[in-house]
Amino acid sequence: MSHTLTGPVRHEAEIRKSRFLALAAPIDSPEAAQAFLDASRNPQATHNCWAWRCGAQYRFSDDGEPGGTAGRPILQAIESQGYDRVAVLVIRWFGGIKLGTGGLARAYGGTAAECLRLAERVELREECRVLCDCPYADMDRVQARLLAAGARIEQAAFDGQGVVWQMRCLRAQVADIESLHADLTRGRGRWRVLDAEDPAWAGDD
């Protein structure tokens, strides 16, 4: 079971005269992670090291610290606490005492881990996208039942036969909602779960 943050959070620590500031935030895409990092990094600091995970995608950066001493420990802090869709930036102001590679890894990873440990978290409920259709005559009834079952309609397109919906469903509920859709359309409605790589829906150019 994965979790994400309910909102932005920060944690500050002083380690052998260096100041470390961890900033963490929930994200829903790699672009959102980059936007958070761009808005939060401090150009006056000695280093701005970071990591993020969003589903199967992840990135990290040591930003000038020795390889493997900053970005990867921050990513490990995210993963070890069961977080997903989270970005963490750890900013360091050098205090004049070198920490060594082991000390740096403990400082960056530990500051990130404590920041995430203190944060409010929420269970991440995995969703999937679905394309399905329905004849005009049944549209209102089918839509009402699907929404009541937990589906969320994102887009709709109309053709000569009826409506095509792009919906989101909790992955744990998608089989039940598909069965309901089949019953309501008497087995004539089309249903397709979209892969993450699919472009949006059939109505897009």
Q: What is the pLDDT of residues 113-152, one digit of tens each?
A: 999 999 999 887 777 889 999 998 889 999 999 999 888 8
- CATH domain 127-194 topology: Alpha-Beta Plaits (3.30.70)
Per-residue confidence band for 1, with pLDDT thresholds at 50, 70 and 90: low
Q: How many CA atoms lie within 13 A of 32 on its CB side?
A: 13
Query: Exposed (0-12), middle (13-18) or buried (19+): which is 166, by Cβ within 10 Å?
Result: buried
For 20, 74, 124, 160, 190, the CA distances from 14, given in Å and listed in that order, are 6, 17, 32, 67, 59
Comma-separated ranges of CATH 3.30.70.240 domains in the chain = 127-194
Q: What's the CATH number for 3-123?
A: 3.30.230.30
Beta strands 127-135 and 162-170 are: antiparallel
